């Protein structure tokens, strides 16, 4: 089930990022095919999360180009990257603790008339109509994530795994072209995670959303991804189908080397 | 649970009782005197509530740490004074570098209501413009640096007023600011009318702020307060929204300054010190409940009540050791009230509403099966 013939939706060319003396991403060159579910694996500290931060606009690359749907996006601020249809989750969940779960999600939809002070003063009916739509959408997403009973709870009071699910929920509130998931399975119940894997596949099939997923759990990776990219020491080490990658000696070495330190 | 729900009514009652009873008792049961005293007290509460309401937008919602409320207060008060004052009066012609007369248009006859509306508008505009200018260099700073820079700006403006007598009169104070509609009332009665005007204006502002903020717009502001990174990852332009919250708050602060000037009849730089023009509003917001617009008003009442009561005590036969120190004890009292609240009741007397959107509030409340357990509901106000 290779998707080689499909065009690349995201390309990373010669991208580098250093923190002080530490070269977190080092001349990375990689691409993600449109409509694929591509996994990004690699030892701790390989630079995976940093790469996501570069793609989503939270960091600017020191060097290199990032292209999404044929347009340069490096250097754009995060909200502009979001508006291009590229959304992300965080490895360590970042919920809006002082807001209810459902409002964490209702925040996300774009083009909310009520986000203009003027409209909330003078066009409340239009604002309320959209609130109804967004609330219904948020309830759907919450029931999909088994969080519906917590919709009116402060997000602060969710468990670690539930917060992780809320992260995922945020990306489902808009109609993205591509979703970056940073370790979506960490801390999430396995049975539920298997359901989510199925749903991710369904989203890809039905809506054509491309997924780029960092994940350490190789079972989930094997279930989910049709292509894998392996990163080590800030750069791409190998690429291929899950089976190919599993047999690759360099990959084994990188993991063992990483573990040995 | 039950006892906790009684805290706010109890505090309100005690303050209201003492604020009424002490002057009544001290004046030997003089009704008219007490009424006049209470009018002055409530007018001040109403004016200070405007600032606290504005600070609530900036801090309670947007999370912008403005520790220089005095700057916007000052700009609003002087702007409104210049616009409403009679052009021909005294040395005013030399103010604003000789432009004073020009800035106070003749068609605004101070006997009517129009100049005051224009004055309030101009004050809001000037203060909002100041916020807009400041937001570019400061809003990208971290919270604590932002606080320090706003303190600096407030002090800078106050010094500028003091050191340049030709701008707005320096330490001489700008006097002779007319009171709205004061021509229609006997000199002693105008203050009652002014009290009504202040509360009508406060009511309008409260309505506008509640309606504006308990909406998707306010939701973005609260999200900013909670975590700017997630707000950006949710597709919101962090800087633009932060600026809107900051400027909206500043506009209202400027308007508060205008009303203050109308009530006082004069404006001088010593009004805008850090204690009275910034710190006190923070105390009111913390006591009332940061994040709740009604809380801002409750806080203004309670804190100004405590302040007033503590001075009333001075008239009694206090032990000498207290008598001479009462003015310092008042400062101490406000300081310890803040500490007490931060430690024991950080949510304030009227905690913030759980849901930002008022539509959602109504929606979640209606179907009984969707109700959260009652004790988890920290909704206040109304
Ligand atoms: N903001 C930062 N400042 C300084 N160093 C950073 C920063 N972010 C990441 N690093 C460093 O960059 C390197 C790569 O980190 P990164 O988080 O990208 O790794 P990762 O591949 O996501 O690892 P993990 O699998 O453990 O999440 C690490 O050595 C990390 O310490
Ligand atoms: Mg990581």
CA–CA separation, B382 and B376 (whole Å): 18
Please measure the distance between the N-terminal and C-terminal CA atoms of chain A and give it in whole angstroms: 36
Choose, out of B218, B226, B238, B365, the residue to mutate when testing the contact with A (most A CBs < 10 Å).
Answer: B226
- What is the average pLDDT across B330-341? 88
Ligand whose nearest atom lies closest to the CA of A21: 1
- The DSSP secondary-structure symbol of B283 reads H
Q: Which of A97, A108, A128 sits opposite B234 (nearest CB)?
A: A108
Ligand whose nearest atom lies closest to the CA of A28: 1
Domain boundaries A8-95+159-256, CATH class: alpha beta
CA–CA separation, A54 and A60 (whole Å): 6
Q: Which of B212, B359, B360 sits opposite A117 (nearest CB)?
A: B212
Q: Which of B211, B227, B354 sits opposite A120 (nearest CB)?
A: B211
**Which residues lie with the beta carbon below 6 Å from any ligand 1 atom?**
A 19, 22, 24, 42, 44-50, 91
So what's the pLDDT on residue B97? 56
So what's the pLDDT on residue A3? 45
Atom 28 of ligand 1: nearest residue by CA position: A45
Chain B residues within an 8 Å CB radius of A59: none
Residue A93, strand partner residues: none
| B256-290 confidence digits (pLDDT tens) | 999 999 998 888 888 888 888 889 999 999 999 99
Intervals of CATH 3.40.50.300 along chain A: 8-95+159-256
Check CB contact of A135 with chain B, cutoff 8 Å. yes
CA contacts within 13 A on the Cβ side of B5: 10
- The DSSP secondary-structure symbol of B178 reads P
Lowest-confidence range among A165-169, A190-194, B96-100, B290-294?
B96-100
So what's the pLDDT on residue B380? 40
Q: How far is A1 from chain B (nearest CA, A)?
A: 32
Q: How far is B248 from chain A (nearest CA, A)?
A: 10
pLDDT tops 80 at residue A217: yes
- What is the average pLDDT across B350-364? 90
pLDDT tops 50 at residue B205: yes
pLDDT tops 80 at residue A202: yes
So what's the pLDDT on residue B131? 93
- What is the average pLDDT across A73-83? 93
Task: List phi, psi (to 5°) of B192.
Answer: -70, -45
Q: Return the closest-CA partner of residue A117 out of B10, B57, B32, B153.
A: B57
The rounded percent of chain A whose pLDDT value lies above 90 is 59
CA–CA separation, A186 and A205 (whole Å): 24
Q: Which of B208, B231, B233 sits opposite A88 (nearest CB)?
A: B233
| B204 Cβ contact list (under 8 Å, min separation 6) | none
Ligand whose nearest atom lies closest to the CA of A182: 2
Q: Return the closest-CA partner of residue B16 out of B284, B332, B309, B281.
A: B309
Position B302 confidence tier, pLDDT thresholds 50, 70, 90: very high
| B77-136 confidence digits (pLDDT tens) | 998 888 887 665 555 555 655 555 555 555 555 556 677 888 899 999 999 999 999 888
CA–CA separation, B115 and B108 (whole Å): 5
Q: How far is A102 from chain B (nearest CA, A)?
A: 9
β-sheet with A227-232: strand ranges across: A86-88, A178-182, A210-214, A37-41, A227-232, A235-240
Lowest-confidence range among A32-41, A73-82, A136-145, B143-152?
B143-152
Q: ipTM greater than 0.85, yes or no?
A: yes
Ligand 1: nearest atom to the Cα of A51: 18
So what's the pLDDT on residue B378? 44
- Our mutation pick for probing the ligand 1 site, out of A23, A41, A42, A46, counting the most ligand atoms within 8 A of Cβ, is A46
Instruction: Judge: A90–B233 Cβ closer than 8 Å, yes or no.
Output: yes
Q: Which residue from A minimizes the CA distance to B218?
A: A115
Give the global pTM. 0.90
So what's the pLDDT on residue A123? 92
Q: Return the closest-CA partner of residue B139 out of B281, B244, B217.
A: B244
Higher pLDDT, residue B172 or A52: A52
């Amino acid at each position: 089930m290779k998707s080689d013939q499909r065009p690349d939706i995201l390309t990373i060319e010669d991208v580098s990022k250093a923190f002080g003396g530490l070269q977190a991403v080092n001349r990375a060159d990689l691409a993600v095919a449109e409509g694929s579910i591509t996994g990004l694996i690699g030892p701790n500290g390989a630079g995976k999360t940093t790469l996501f931060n570069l793609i989503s606009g939270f960091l600017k690359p020191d060097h290199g180009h990032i292209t999404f749907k044929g347009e340069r996006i490096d250097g754009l601020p995060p909200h502009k990257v979001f508006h291009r249809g590229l959304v992300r989750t965080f490895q360590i969940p970042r919920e809006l603790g002082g807001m209810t779960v459902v409002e964490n999600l209702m925040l996300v939809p774009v083009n909310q008339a009520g986000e203009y002070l003027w409209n909330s003063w003078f066009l409340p009916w239009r604002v309320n109509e959209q609130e109804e739509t967004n609330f219904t959408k948020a309830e759907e997403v919450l029931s999909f994530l088994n969080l519906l009973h917590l919709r009116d709870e402060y997000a602060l009071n969710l468990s670690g795994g539930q917060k992780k699910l809320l992260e995922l929920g945020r990306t489902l509130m808009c109609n993205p072209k591509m979703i970056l998931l940073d370790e979506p399975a960490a801390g999430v119940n396995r049975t539920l995670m298997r359901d989510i894997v199925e749903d991710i596949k369904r989203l890809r099939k039905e809506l054509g959303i491309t997924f780029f997923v960092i994940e350490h759990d190789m079972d989930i990776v094997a279930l989910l991804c049709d292509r894998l990219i392996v990163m080590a020491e800030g750069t791409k080490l190998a690429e291929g189908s899950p089976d190919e990658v599993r047999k690759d000696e360099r990959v084994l070495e990188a993991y063992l080397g990483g573990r040995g330190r | 649970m039950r006892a906790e729900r009684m805290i706010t009514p109890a505090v309100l009652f005690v303050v209201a009782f003492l604020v009424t009873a002490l002057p009544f008792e001290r004046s030997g049961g003089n009704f008219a005197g007490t009424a006049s005293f209470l009018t002055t007290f409530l007018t001040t509460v109403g004016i200070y509530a405007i600032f606290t309401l504005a600070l609530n937008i900036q801090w309670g919602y947007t999370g912008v740490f403005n520790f220089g409320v005095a700057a916007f207060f000052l700009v609003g008060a002087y702007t409104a004074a210049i616009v409403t004052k009679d052009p021909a009066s005294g040395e005013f012609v030399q103010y604003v570098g000789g432009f004073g007369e020009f800035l106070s248009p003749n068609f605004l006859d101070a006997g009517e209501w129009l100049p005051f509306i224009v004055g309030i508008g101009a004050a809001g505009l000037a203060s909002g413009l100041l916020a807009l200018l400041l937001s570019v260099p400061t809003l990208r700073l971290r919270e604590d640096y932002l606080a320090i820079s706003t303190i600096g700006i407030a002090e800078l403006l106050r010094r500028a007023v003091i050191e340049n007598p030709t701008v707005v009169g320096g330490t001489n104070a700008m006097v002779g600011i007319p009171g709205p509609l004061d021509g229609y009332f006997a000199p002693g009665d105008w203050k009652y009318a002014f009290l009504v005007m202040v509360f009508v204006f406060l009511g309008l502002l409260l309505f506008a702020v509640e309606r504006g903020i308990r909406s998707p717009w306010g939701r973005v502001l609260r999200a900013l307060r909670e975590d700017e990174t997630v707000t950006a990852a949710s597709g919101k332009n962090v800087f633009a929204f932060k600026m809107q919250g900051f400027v909206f708050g500043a506009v209202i602060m400027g308007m508060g300054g205008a009303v203050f000037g109308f009530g006082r009849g004069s404006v001088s730089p010593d009004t805008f010190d850090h204690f009275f023009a910034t710190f006190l509003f923070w105390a009111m917001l913390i006591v009332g409940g940061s994040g709740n617009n009604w809380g801002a008003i409750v806080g203004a009442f309670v804190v100004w009540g405590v302040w007033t009561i503590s001075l009333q005590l001075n008239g009694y036969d206090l032990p000498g050791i207290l008598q001479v120190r009462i003015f310092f004890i008042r400062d101490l009292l406000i300081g310890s009230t803040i500490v007490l609240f931060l430690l024991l009741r950080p949510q304030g007397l009227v905690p913030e509403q759980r849901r930002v959107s008022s539509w959602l509030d109504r929606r979640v409340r209606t179907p009984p099966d969707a109700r959260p357990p009652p004790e988890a509901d920290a909704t206040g106000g109304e």
